[in-house]
Chain A
Amino acid sequence: MFSGFMVNAWEVASIVAVVAGIVGFFVVLRGSAFVAHAIPNGSFAGAAGASLIGVSTLVGLGAFSLLGALGIGLLGRRGRHDVVTALALVMMLGLGALFVSLSVEYEPEIESLLFGEVLGISNNAVAPTAALALVCVAAIAALYRPLMLSSVLAEVGEARGVRAFTMELCFLVVVALATTMTVPVVGTLLIFSLMIGPPAAARSFVDRPLAAIGLSVAIALITVWSAIAASYTTNYPIGFYVGTISAVAYALGRAWAAWRARRCSGGDARRDYGVSGASNIAA
């Protein structure tokens, strides 16, 4: 389980889990689950387009995820956010359908992009993944304070000179970057589950943002590690295990939050995360 090509799987999956845990925390905090679904899903049209004109898949994925992110950000200024996201997604998928119908040899690749082929990662995929991951984490670290502020208290952020629109665009670009890096190795399904389940679970357990990010990364790592181990032993697809384990983690988090709320009932049971997060920044 720990030899040969499996080493690549462990390495890349761990990198992906760390990035998903960190970026996912902000996805959940900002209520951007739809965007986290739309950008990876839509970007796979880029992979289809790339194979059609004969450039590398990574270029196509990168171009489409960036295009989608910027499109959602710019159109979202005027229209409703969820509507714009839905329309950008279907437009990208429509183009994907066109590319697929025009090309001939694409078919088997679709399934691997959807559900991932983490067990078939080659040696030369590790270095680019690690590099893009570093960029993602560095971007989040650099943006941490303003992004946090505009995510939980947009008005206060505006008053302090943090433009909510700029932050939205920056955040979308980070999601696009994370997408480009993760989709070819783990698939759109897996990255979405990892960006939603572990951070949502982490937020049920702890209130402080940094602790929640740490816990979210830890849960994401445990999820992918046990998923790889289970997938290796049973031969069932890894996406199934990641989806299921993420959901179980989230359910545990909800149960914990409900139990805690019952224990200290009488007080304000449903603590609003936003306020505690903001006071943390102000401190």
Chain B
Amino acid sequence: MSIAALGALLAPVVEPGFFSSEAVRVAIVVGALVAVTAGTVGVFTVMRGQSFAGEALGDIDTTGGSAAFLVGIGPLWGFLAVSVAAAAAMELIGIQRPRGRDLATGIVLGTALGLAALLLYLVTTLHNTTGAAQTILFGSVFTVPGSTIPLVALLSVVVLGSIATLYRPLLLSSLSAEMAAARGLHVRALGAAYLLALAVAIALAAITIGSILSTALLVGPAATALRLTRRPGTAIALAGGLGVTAMWLGILLAYDSFAWPPLGTGWPVSFFVVTLIFLGYLLSGVPELLRRRAGAA
């Protein structure tokens, strides 16, 4: 099929200029990298029941890191530092104990947001900028500069590489901490290493696509995949695939939405991606529901 024919086929779906837009191209590449990284880490996050930690890190990164950015510290490094520091604090307070996990995350989140409130206040009074909270809350993938692609790719590789290196022990300790400990694995060190990988992945996601999408891409595709398959390797591949699909479809819809009412402003990418992920999760519950109903009948 020629490219022209393909273009004609896609014309009703894709608004003109989609594939030639630089912002869209960058968004597609960065979105895919982040979605694969978040999906992979997310499978472990869901298994370990640490979605709250992922969400909290995203919030802390975007508020604290963006405030640091407004002060003038380099954005990605600021985000990384904040993220890793927050993860270390959670580990120290006791995220490894199931009973105290929620609380450790909550205490760190509350304190960090308090500090962020101070930073934002100082920044807005010193620099007289308004609307900081909005950009911080809803980062947009369309505003990512193309020059960051190599760095994003590098950090994704670092995260994926460390997960791959630790794969078997991490999997065992995530499924059953007791069994892992019985086999002589250092469960706490593994947990800390995983938390570090999570912190880097979240920093990466939060700075490129905002804290809403970082949580959505971390938890949604992974939870959906784990409902559809029991094999961890398949789940990781599936989570990555679902994340990339949701991200790309969301970018496409957001681009198309510039032609929707109210004209010219466009609808946010995060809304589309989150909705797609949420629907995917709901749909993935249907097979089990049918099975249960069939079993009952």
Q: Which residues of B contact A94 (CB under 8 A)?
A: 212, 216, 268, 270-271, 273-275, 278
Contacts of A196 in B (CB 8 A): 103, 106-107, 110
CA distance in complex: A97, B212 (Å): 9
Interface size class of B (residues with CB under 8 A): 35 or more
Q: Which residues of A contact B271 (CB under 8 A)?
A: 94-95, 97-98, 101
Complex CA gap A80/B270 in Å reads 23
Q: Which residue of A lies closest to B270 (CB)?
A: A97
Q: Give residues of chain B (149-174) contacting chain A, Cβ–Cβ below 8 Å.
A: none
Give the chain A neighbours of B35 by CB distance below 8 A.
none
Residues on A with beta carbons closer than 8 Å to the beta carbon of B220: 86-87, 90
With known contacts A101-B266, A196-B103, A237-B121, A89–B215 Cβ distance under 8 A: yes
Any B CB within 8 A of the CB of A26 = no
Closest to A247 in B: B111
Q: Which of A30-38, A123-131, A134-142 is near enough to bind chain B?
A: A30-38
When the two chains form the complex, which single residue of A37, A115, A241, A246 contacts B55, counting CB atoms closer than 8 Å? A37
Interface string of A5-23 (1 = CB under 8 A from B): 0000000000000000000
Assembly CA distance A87 to B114 (angstroms): 24
Chain A residues with CB below 8 A from B46, complex form: 80, 83
Is residue A70 contacting chain B, with contact meaning CB distance below 8 A?
A: no
Give Cα A240 to B212, complex, Å: 23
- Decide: A239 and B113 in contact? CB cutoff 8 A: yes
Of chain B, the residue at the smallest CB distance from A95 is: B271
Q: Which residues of B contact A193 (CB under 8 A)?
A: 110-111, 113-114
Verify B109–A236 contact, CB threshold 8 A: no
User: Which has the most chain B C-beta neighbours within 10 Å: A97, A193, A244, A247?
Assistant: A97
Other-chain residue from B110, B213, B227 in contact with A246 (beta carbon distance below 8 A): B110
Q: Cβ of B73 < 8 Å from any Cβ of A?
A: no
B219 A31 Cβ-Cβ under 8 A: no
A68 at interface by CB-CB < 8 Å = no
Interface residues of B in 46-69 (CB under 8 A from A): 46, 49-52, 54-56
Find A237's partner among B56, B109, B117, B213 (CB 8 Å cutoff): B117
One of A85, A98, A110, A237 near B137 (C-beta < 8 A)? A110
Whether a CB of chain B sits under 8 angstroms from the CB of A197 is yes
Of B114, B137, B262, B274, the residue contacting A244 (CB under 8 A) is B114
A85 CA to B105 CA, complexed, in Å: 15
Q: How far is the CA of A91 from the CA of B271 in the complex (A)?
A: 8
Asked if A58 lies at the interface with its beta carbon under 8 angstroms from chain B, I say no
Q: A199 — nearest CB in chain B belongs to which residue?
A: B103
- Interface 9-mer from B4-12, B126-134, B185-193: B126-134
Judge if A158 is at the interface, Cβ distance under 8 Å.
Answer: no
Which B residue's beta carbon lies closest to that of A31?
B102
Within 8 A of A (CB), among B93-123: 99, 101-103, 105-107, 109-115, 117-118, 120-121
List the interface of chain B (C-beta within 8 A of A): 46, 49-52, 54-56, 99, 101-103, 105-107, 109-115, 117-118, 120-121, 130-134, 137-138, 212-213, 215-216, 218-220, 223, 227, 262, 265-268, 270-271, 273-275, 277-278, 281, 285, 288-289
Chain A to chain B: the 8 pairs with minimum beta-carbon distance, closest first: A243-B114, A94-B274, A33-B106, A193-B110, A239-B117, A240-B118, A34-B52, A82-B51
The contact sample of 27 A-B pairs, CB cut-off 8 A, is A31-B101, A32-B102, A33-B103, A34-B105, A37-B56, A37-B109, A38-B55, A78-B288, A82-B51, A86-B51, A87-B277, A91-B274, A91-B278, A94-B216, A98-B268, A100-B138, A101-B266, A102-B265, A115-B120, A193-B111, A240-B117, A243-B112, A243-B114, A244-B111, A246-B107, A247-B110, A247-B111
